[in-house]
Amino acid sequence: MTLKNKCSAGMIALIAASIILSGCKKQEQPAQPAAPEQPKVAAPAQPAPAAPAETMPAPAPSTATSKPAVPAHDYIKELQLPAKLKEKAPETYKVKFDTTRGEFTITVTRAWAPLGADRFYNLVKHHFYDNAAFFRVVPEFVVQFGISANPAVSAAWKHSDIQDDPVTQTNKRGAIVFATAGPNTRTTQVFINLKDNGRLDEMGFAPFGVVDGKGMNVVEMMYEGYGDSAGPDQNQLEKQGNPYLKKGWPKLDYIKSATLITGQ
């Protein structure tokens, strides 16, 4: 199952057989003819503000006892060094998503898919998903996101694959899963199942968390009007960032921020 970049309109025919959920380098081709397409990595359509860099509060006016000013935390710079972002995640942690449609939280259980949970934890902790678009929304199938709003960041993570996790949980409604372009090709793109998609289990898609409570009411509101065949090109989105989406797909919804609220 490939949830990443769409290789071509012709790949729609493959949507029933395979689901490729990765980026252009591993162009994802939805696998699912009549049924919902596979979660693939597509390019969002709506420019979101550049990923914000968190800054420390300004120090008090200089005095004899004042401490040196604390430099701003540059998440953009840190995100361009994927090899250094390999912290082990807590056994469970929650992530709060503030979006253009409202808020929802996701609870991640590391035991379900350790490698995926660790990767997601490091991405969220360094604000990778801030300002990213929900670039692929397929009704009764999946909502996909995970291409950075910043082209330099996207380029840095393009070849940062992680190995696959065994599938220990089913792709039920609300489960969050990494998109792939084949075996051992997970990077940053993820999708949330809009319904029970058990057929994805046999394809190797390993859920690592689930949307809490009534959060799916928000997830299901993401703009779906562009369809799977008329959406943005993932390669261009990676290269140009959100301005590319804003120009061609202005109605897409975005993540204002994705923040760790427990297990930090």
Q: Which three-class secondary structure string do you get for the chain? A: CEECCECCHHHHHHHHCCCECCCHHHCECCCCCCCCCCCCCCCCCCCCCCCCCCCCCCCCCCCCCCCCCCCCCCHHHHHCCHHHCCCCCCCEEEEEEEECCEEEEEEEEHHHCHHHHHHHHHHHHCCCCCCCECCEEECCCEEEECCCCCHHHHHHHCCCCECCCCCCCCCCCCEEEECCCCCCCECCCEEEECCCCHHHHHHCCCEEEEECHHHHHHHCCCCCCCCCCCCCCHHHHHHHCHHHHHHHCCCCCEEEEEEEEECC
Task: Kindly report, residue by residue over 142-162, the tens digit of the pLDDT.
Answer: 999 999 999 999 999 999 999
Q: How far apart are CA 202 and CA 67, in angstroms?
A: 57
Q: How far apart are CA 93 and CA 236, in angstroms?
A: 33
Asked if residues 234 and 45 have their Cβ atoms less than 8 Å apart, the reply is no
Q: Phi/psi of residue 211, each to 5°?
A: -70, 135
Enumerate residue ranges in the chain where pLDDT < 50.
1, 5-36, 41-71
Angle at 221 between CA 215 and CA 226, to 5 degrees: 145
Q: Phi/psi of residue 207, each to 5°?
A: -60, 145
Task: Kindly report, residue by residue over 8-45, the tens digit of the pLDDT.
Answer: 333 333 333 334 444 433 444 333 334 445 555 443 33
Nearest to 109 by CA among 262, 259, 256: 262
Residue matched to tokens 């990676």: 238
The whole-model pTM stands at 0.77
